[in-house]
Amino acid sequence: MYYGKFQQLKPGAVQPSGFLKEWLKQQNKGLSSHYTEQGFPFDTPMWNGGVGKIIPASIVYNDQAAETPSQEAWWPYEQCAYLLDGLLGIGILSGDQAKIELFRNNLRYVMEHPDAHG
């Protein structure tokens, strides 16, 4: 039996109003709509064919000594995840289907292209 005060709701079950709705509108037309202008890795297709199958750390860090596979850059994928998560939330709350589809397309690509290790 659950004795807590809060219950989990589905995304979009509560809609913003007042100042929160206005803030969401500003966020939606601000960085959320112009993220590619921030540069790498947001100016790539992200997970959807991606920031690159393998990104040597030397490219990202401009360090010629970082050429080994163990030093492949992982952070671009992580940063794309943060962006996509935020865009999905804004898309759901604002009804912006383009942002929701961007998330879906990226997630679909990941699910349809597992590597040899799953």
Which tokens belong to 55?
A: 């990104």
Terminal Cα distance for the chain, rounded: 37
pLDDT of amino acid 16: 92
Exposed e or buried b per residue across 7-27, where buried means at least 16 C-beta atoms within 10 angstroms of its C-beta = eeeeeeeeeeeeeeeeebeeb
The pLDDT tens digits for 46-101 are 888 766 555 555 555 555 555 545 456 677 888 889 999 999 999 999 999 999 99
Measured distance CA(116)–CA(99) in Å, rounded: 30
Q: What is the mean pLDDT of the chain?
A: 81
Measured distance CA(80)–CA(63) in Å, rounded: 22
pLDDT of amino acid 113: 83
pLDDT of amino acid 61: 52
- Polymer length of the chain: 118
* Whether the Cβ atoms of residue 84 and residue 108 lie closer than 8 Å to each other: no
pLDDT of amino acid 73: 66
pLDDT of amino acid 11: 84
